[in-house]
Amino acid sequence: MTEHSIPFPPVAQELLLPGPAGPLEVVVELAEPEQARAGVAVICHPHPLHGGTMHNKVVTMLDRSLRELGLNTVRFNFRGVGQSAGEHDNGRGETLDLLAVAEWVQARCPHDALWLAGFSFGAYVSLLAARHLKPKQMISIAPPAGRWDFSAVLPPNCPWLVVQGEDDDVVDPQNVYDWLDAIAAAERPTLIRMPETGHFFHRRLMDLRGAIKNGVRSNLPPVRKA
């Protein structure tokens, strides 16, 4: 069975999709029907070798925030995490994993807007994949500029939100600001700086939820037709 033959589930569901290194563990969650909009957000988790999984609290808050806005969501584990087959590949293979999941979404939901979101390493991977997937909205939480080679990262050519904690103890906030300042003004994202906030947004997850929702609300896809 190919990934494109697996239907998008009508209810929240865990499933395994075929990926480039073997099965990929995926969780699909749906917006409430009365709030549903014609969009699906694919969300990427932080670094696998530092405990990152799709169950990370920042990732699940991203998921919750976007479902509250009416989007269906898809989280997945990169290769070598949970039930996903394979081994960590320093972003290269993980980008292929994301492409497999997102292309499944696009094949099964061709009339829905694709959104891409990621936290830390997941933000890096989602930005690498954006040139191929042409999303309608990007969300990058604590993108790890300075820790990973961002020379191959191009602005995604769509509305783009970046949220960065000013007391991040993993990603140097100034590296993020310098990276964004080097991007042409017309292609820069909306940047939200959260004061007194570390990398994992401890005690600030509800503030992160508000930042995400307020930062993308103006670009929401249309209400889903019954």
Q: Show me where the domains of the chain are located.
A: 3-217
Measured distance CA(112)–CA(137) in Å, rounded: 12
pLDDT of residue 47: 97
pLDDT of residue 2: 55
pLDDT of residue 184: 95
Please list the pLDDT of the chain residue by residue as tens digits (226 residues).
Answer: 555 579 999 999 999 999 999 999 999 999 999 999 999 999 999 999 999 999 999 999 999 999 999 999 999 999 999 999 999 999 999 999 999 999 999 999 999 999 999 999 999 999 999 999 999 999 999 999 999 989 889 999 999 999 999 999 999 999 999 999 999 999 999 999 999 999 999 999 999 999 999 999 999 999 998 7
Measured distance CA(90)–CA(99) in Å, rounded: 15
Mapping DSSP onto H, E and C, the string for the chain reads CCHHHCCCCCCCEEEEEEEECEEEEEEEECCCHHHCECEEEEEECCCHHHCCCCCCHHHHHHHHHHHHCCCEEEEECCCCCCCCCCCCCCCHHHHHHHHHHHHHHHHHCCCCEEEEEEECHHHHHHHHHHHHHCCCEEEEECCCECCECHHHCCCCCCCEEEEEECCCCCCCHHHHHHHHHCCCHHHCCEEEEECCCCCCCCCCHHHHHHHHHHHHHHHCCCECCC
Of 110, 114, 76, nearest to 96 (Cα)?
76
pLDDT of residue 122: 98
> Tell me, which fold does domain 3-217 have in CATH?
Rossmann fold (3.40.50)
Measured distance CA(109)–CA(104) in Å, rounded: 8
